[in-house]
């Protein structure tokens, strides 16, 4: 098998030189059918007087004194991904001219920190889809990242794939490089197998004595064969040999989750309602409960065939084109269950806001009964939010039934302890609902008695408004 290049876009995802600027203009001509007026419309250049009168006026989104044009930035990200893809195909085609025919691949980087390439467009060009996966040292739930990335690579491959790189222990390129705990390397490797990997490989075979990655872990560490890492690698080899029967097997899922690199790029551009939103974190928040429940998940694009799924989740689909919006709407109209996260469908593929209310082109907009803003969820490990208390973030929740409206008033006993009287300060004849001597429990001073009253029974507390009509006057504190 040919391994072409290594980690396209890892250290050279973009170039802003004049040669790249000329290539960018050529790419834009193809994308916009050589129609400069169409490009001006797509980029909304009437705003801030950015109108282009000639193709040669267009340059990459270099440093600017103000916020960049989001449509310009998004097309630039697409261009960079496509240009690197053309480099891969050119190198691959040279090797295909040399007999015999040998499969070719290159290693993707479906990781927590890499978003340079649209791998949906790359996967069909690979004979075998491969991936490098490394963990974030500070991630307390790294096992979820292993599962999520494994499902995403399997979905792009359409079946088995190859894990070309991961580490036996610590890496050397993060601020703090944590060594893996006992059994963690074995767990991660077998988790990749469980999510479709037919091969498990490492970087690197022997730990380097010198060079930039001399402190990167390896199968054969500096200590040699008399080390725990070496014994764990040997044990993993025996485990994989015992699992040979599952090689080439596939699995089916009834739940699909929408993943789109265009949405990831656009959501994290400047000038958003919040600069703290991160696409992968939003997707992971929805993926976590499914993983914990043992529910298999496929990842799909907005325009993919969804007929085989019962549930489709779109946690963060900020831009969506008309074709993708129609496809998701048709899935819901034909009996499928579609859950859409906040800020999804707000703009089209050119970052133009869809007018008429949110979520724009996605189902749920015409009927206000289906629209609900999810409340903030406080996470103790989250950083402070600029518009709320520490740890306050809007986080998606999937509910089988509509959530009841929560009361925001303070508990009754707390209000009484703060000196509130039984009379309303502005309306003396109106009573406040405070705590009375008939309250059955401190946490439930006024027990709901609706079902009992409907059957003609006596209310639990005679101080309940519905019970005062048939009981003696109530003494209020």
Residues carrying an active site annotation: 7, 165
Q: How many CB atoms lie within 10 A of CB 215?
A: 14
Q: Tell me the C-alpha distance between 225 and 205, whole Å.
A: 12
Write the CB contacts of 33 (distance below 8 Å, at least 6 apart in sequence): none
Give the angle subtended at the CA of 143 by the CAs of 139 and 149, to the nearest 5°. Answer: 95
Q: What is the 3-state secondary structure (H, E, C) of the chain?
A: CEECCCCCCCCCCCCCCHHHHHHHHHHHHHHCCCCHHHHHHHHCCCHHHCCCCCHHHCCCCCCCCCCCCHHHHHHHHHHHHHHHHHHHHHHHHHHHCCCCCCCEECEECCCCCCCCCCHHHHHHHCCCCEEECCCCCCCCCHHHHHHHHHHHHHHHHCCCEEEEECCCCCCCCCCCCCCCCCCHHHHHHHHHHHCCEEEECCCCCECCCCCCCCCCCCCECCCCCCCHHHHHHHHHHHHHHHCHHHCCCCCCCCEEEECCHHHHHHHCCCCCCCCCCCHHHHHHHHHHHHHHCCCCEEEECCCCCCCCCCEEEECCCCECCHHHHHHHHHHHHCCCEEEECCCCCCECCCCCECCCCCCCCCCCCCCHHHCCCCCEEECCCCCECCCCCECEEECCCCCCCCCCCCCCCCCHHHHHHCCCCCECCCCCCCECCCCECCCCECCECCCCCHHHHHCCCCCCCCCCCCCHHHCCCCCEC
């Amino acid at each position: 098998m040919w391994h072409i290049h290594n980690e396209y876009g890892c250290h050279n995802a973009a170039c802003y030189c004049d040669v790249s600027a000329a290539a960018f203009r050529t790419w834009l001509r193809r994308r916009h059918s050589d129609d400069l007026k169409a490009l001006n419309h797509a980029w909304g250049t009437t705003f801030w007087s950015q109108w282009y009168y000639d193709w040669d006026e267009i340059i990459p989104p270099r440093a600017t004194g103000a916020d960049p044009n989001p449509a310009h930035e998004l097309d630039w990200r697409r261009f960079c991904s496509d240009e690197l893809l053309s480099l891969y195909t050119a190198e691959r085609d040279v090797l295909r001219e040399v007999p015999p025919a040998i499969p070719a691949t290159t290693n993707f980087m479906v990781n927590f920190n890499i978003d340079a390439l649209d791998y949906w467009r790359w996967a069909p060009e690979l004979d075998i889809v491969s991936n490098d996966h490394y963990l974030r040292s500070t991630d307390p739930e790294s096992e979820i990242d292993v599962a999520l990335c494994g499902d995403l690579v399997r979905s792009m491959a359409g079946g088995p794939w190859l894990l070309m790189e991961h580490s036996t222990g610590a890496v050397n390129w993060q601020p703090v490089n944590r060594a893996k705990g006992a059994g963690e390397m074995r767990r991660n490797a077998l988790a990749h197998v469980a999510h479709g990997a037919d091969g498990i490989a490492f970087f690197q075979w022997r730990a380097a004595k010198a060079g930039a990655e001399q402190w990167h872990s390896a199968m054969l560490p500096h200590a040699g064969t008399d080390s725990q890492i070496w014994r764990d690698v040997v044990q993993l080899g025996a485990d994989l040999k015992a699992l040979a029967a599952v090689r080439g097997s596939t699995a089916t899922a009834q739940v699909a989750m929408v993943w789109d690199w265009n949405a990831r790029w656009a959501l994290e551009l400047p000038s958003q309602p919040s600069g703290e939103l991160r696409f992968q974190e939003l997707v992971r928040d929805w993926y976590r409960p499914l993983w914990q429940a043992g529910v298999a998940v496929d990842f799909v694009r907005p325009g993919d065939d969804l007929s085989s799924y019962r549930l489709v989740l779109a946690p963060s689909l900020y831009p969506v084109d008309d074709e993708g919006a129609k496809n998701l709407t048709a899935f819901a109209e034909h009996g499928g269950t579609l859950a859409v996260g906040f800020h999804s469908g707000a703009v089209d593929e050119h970052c133009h806001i869809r007018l008429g209310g949110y979520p724009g082109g996605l189902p749920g907009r015409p009927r206000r009964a289906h629209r609900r803003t999810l409340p903030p969820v406080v996470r103790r490990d989250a950083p402070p939010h600029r518009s709320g208390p520490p740890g306050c973030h809007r986080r998606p929740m999937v509910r089988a039934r509509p959530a009841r409206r929560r009361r925001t008033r303070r508990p009754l006993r707390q209000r009484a302890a703060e000196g509130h009287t039984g009379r309303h300060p502005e309306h003396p004849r109106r009573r406040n609902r405070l705590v009375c001597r008939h309250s059955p429990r401190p946490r439930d001073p006024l027990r709901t008695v609706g079902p009992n009253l409907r059957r003609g029974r006596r209310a639990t507390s005679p101080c309940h408004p519905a019970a005062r009509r048939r009981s003696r006057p109530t003494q209020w504190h």
